[in-house]
Chains A and B, each alone.
Chain A
């Protein structure tokens, strides 16, 4: 999993049926200190996250599909699975 910041969302009418009812968020990978750590990606929201939240994103299909749609086998490769309250770490 990676830490990321939710920076926006995507609206798409025509999409794979398994995405119906889900929210597609634009997330930007970040380091524990909040600095940018890579290129933006899209993730399906499984936890009612909002723009500005620091979140945990899983980048594996089975887990992403199960947490965001309730069952595996969907064409979903990333999902937001947690909203981070705090990160404590020793650099």
Chain B
């Protein structure tokens, strides 16, 4: 799993039937210090996350499991909304941690 910030939503009218009612969000992956890591990507939400929130997401085949028994096509699903991240100061990254 990895941390990410929700940047916004994706609206798609024409989509797989199994995506009906699902929320597609654009997320920016982050490291433990909330620094951007990699490129923005599209994730399906399973926990009611919204724009601006820090979340964590699951990749791969497992990303479709929160929706069982529905077979939702996903390789990136938001599975939690982050309250706080504790990073031990001994291992803190070089840049200071911004507010969530």
Q: Which residues of A contact B (CB under 8 A)?
A: 5, 7-16, 19, 24, 26, 28, 39-44, 51-52, 61, 64-65, 73-78
Specify which chain B residues have a CB less than 8 angstroms from the CB of A75 in the assembled complex: 46, 58, 62-63, 65-66, 77, 79
Specify which chain B residues have a CB less than 8 angstroms from the CB of A78 in the assembled complex: 1
A26-B32 in contact (CB<8A): yes
B68 within 8 A of A: yes
CB proximity of B34 to chain A, nearest CB, Å: 11
B58-A73 in contact (CB<8A): no
* B68 closest partner in A (C-beta): A73
B56-A10 in contact (CB<8A): yes
A42-B90 in contact (CB<8A): no
Given the known interface contacts A8-B91, A10-B56, the answer about A74 and B82 at a Cβ–Cβ threshold of 8 Å is no
A77-B90 in contact (CB<8A): no
B15 within 8 A of A: no
How far apart sit A44 and B2, CA to CA, in the bound complex (Å)? 11
B17 within 8 A of A: no
Q: Which residues of B contact A (CB under 8 A)?
A: 1-3, 31-32, 37-38, 46-48, 56, 58-63, 65-66, 68, 77, 79-88, 90-91
How far apart sit A22 and B60, CA to CA, in the bound complex (Å)? 20
Given the known interface contacts A40-B32, A74-B62, A75-B65, the answer about A12 and B83 at a Cβ–Cβ threshold of 8 Å is yes
Specify which chain A residues have a CB less than 8 angstroms from the CB of B80 in the assembled complex: 10, 12, 14-16, 19, 24
Contact of B1 among A8, A11, A14, A24 (CB under 8 A): A24
